Structure 1
Amino acid sequence: MTAINRRRALTGTAAVAAGVPLLAACGGSDDGGDTASDPSGSGAASSDGGSGDAAPSALATTADVPVGGCFVVEAAKVVVTQPTEGDFKAFSAICTHQGCAVQSSTVGDIPCPCHGSKFSLEDGSVLDGPATSGLEAVEITVDGDSITKA
């Protein structure tokens, strides 16, 4: 059995001290740090829990979605848009470039904060890369002021 000497112990400690931050920088984040938050505080980011028999719960209210902009529902991974007043559409909130979550916006497109891709409010198509494919459409129903998955 080899005894651990001071030099070997210090070398191992230095390797761990240098390696842990490097590994952390390469890892993904589960804290939702690259997703938009619910600025309205409405709590509209609920989902139906995956049960096909349960009544669909609201993704958002019509007031959450700005005209000419979009609103990200983090829990459902859906972005709801309102290209023109009263016209609501929804798409996957996951950027097709590298899987980052897109952000809520009031500036006429769906922006991805990771690498600058921008998508159309109308059809989810790519307006500006590096993404090369559009966001997948999500079927929704608007009933009064409630927006739910269809």
Structure 2
Amino acid sequence: MLQDHITVQNRYKDFIKKISETETVYALKDDKGYATSYSNESEYEDGEPVQIICFWSDAARAKSCIENEWNRYEPSPIPLNEFVENWCLGMNSDGVLVGTDFDSNLFGYEAEPLELILDIIEEFKISGKSLNLRKFENMDDLEIQIREVLED
């Protein structure tokens, strides 16, 4: 089980690096919405598992999960700035987790949306790049606001 945990952690780190380089994430989408799953680790206060919306770092990984209940889905690219500002912030408000680079067994890293944004910001700082944001002055502004929310 420890090996699985290490594999998932490494896959999450690779997810952060790749989406920071390409500035794109992928979701699986059909005419009814986006691919979701349920947490293996977290549950709501009523004991129900927390909902997860799944995202991948490339279209090929996303395609590898098109089977069973997701057999009518197609990979859909999402610009990273939209993912950060709309998806992650919205998912945080809704109490939903981010599933990253799940495999065909729906096994992957389950991230808190605000923590994921902070990890993306950190990767951008390391690479010396900046993400163009529409709702925030810059990445520092976004980081400050997220840290304030997390401290409350």
The TM tier, using the shorter chain, reads: under 0.3
TM-score, length basis structure 2: 0.24
Tell me which structure has the larger Cα radius of gyration: 1
TM-score, length basis structure 1: 0.24
